[in-house]
Copies of this chain bind each other. A is one copy, B any other.
């Protein structure tokens, strides 16, 4: 592609949120049919691993991004941050992370948590977004099972809304909104999909979509880095059961999905959740 590389944050003054702009992702190559950059034995991957975290070669955010353009009316900022790819298994042909044994899912979760812990001290790190897109319908271009971590220089606007709701709820009721929602779902029971010692998986009363699944910790905890080893093991187990259920809803096709881990911010004093 000709033209100047462009990579910056642009402020939407109407929805009041940052938009990630990059033309670097247009450089992503069309891979030869049958070639997978995430399989073992490639230059980036090598051999002898159970799971890998790689830097995204075509990232939306970089540790040392170019200076943003300047505009006389609109606001811009540097696309500072990190984009990682989590290659969840060496095997290429497995449909979903939920097809792996619980101990492999736990291994992947621990790698992600270690990466979050490692990045937590960085100046640019305001939010850690672990997300998993499954299926071509969602826009997945590489089918080798993988997920992504974005280390963001801002809190996503949706998470800000969640934090704002939790604060307002705490101010008016003196209780944690998320704990109360969990309590309501457990007491009703009818929308609970699965639960174990540390987690509950449910389709909330106020679901926006069919098959919308929320997984909550039983313990009041804000950060994935605060989970105990037992809680991480239980999370792997409930993820496996919940995603197996979701991907098998239709017998004709494995269900595409978007999975996103929500967390508090390490920078905001969440009185509401203490």
Interface residues of A (CB under 8 A from B): 10-16, 19, 71-74, 158, 161-162, 165-166, 169, 177-178, 180-181, 183-184, 187, 204-208
The A interface is mostly helix, strand or loop, or mixed, namely: mixed
Most chain B CB atoms below 10 A, which of A10, A12, A169, A206 = A206
Of B14, B74, B180, B205, the residue contacting A165 (CB under 8 A) is B14
Q: A12-B208, A19-B206, A19-B207 are in contact. List 19 more A-B contacts (CB 8 A).
A: A12-B204, A12-B206, A13-B169, A13-B177, A13-B181, A14-B162, A14-B165, A14-B166, A14-B181, A15-B162, A15-B165, A16-B161, A16-B165, A71-B205, A72-B184, A73-B183, A73-B187, A74-B184, A74-B206
Give complex CA distance A169, B13 in Å: 9
Copies, count: 2
CA distance A205 to B72 in the complex (A): 12
Min CB gap A9→B, angstroms = 10
Q: Give the residue name and chain of the B residue nearest to A74 (CB).
A: B205
Closest B residue to A10 by beta carbon equals: B206
Chain B residue at smallest Cβ distance from A18? B206
Measured between beta carbons, the chain B residues less than 8 angstroms from A205 are 10, 71, 74
Name the CB-closest residue of B to A9: B206
Are the CB atoms of B14 and A177 closer together than 8 Å? yes
CB closest residue in chain B, given A163: B14
Bound Cα distance from A169 to B177, whole angstroms: 30
User: Would A161 and B15 be within 8 Å (CB), given that A10-B206, A205-B10 are in contact?
Assistant: yes
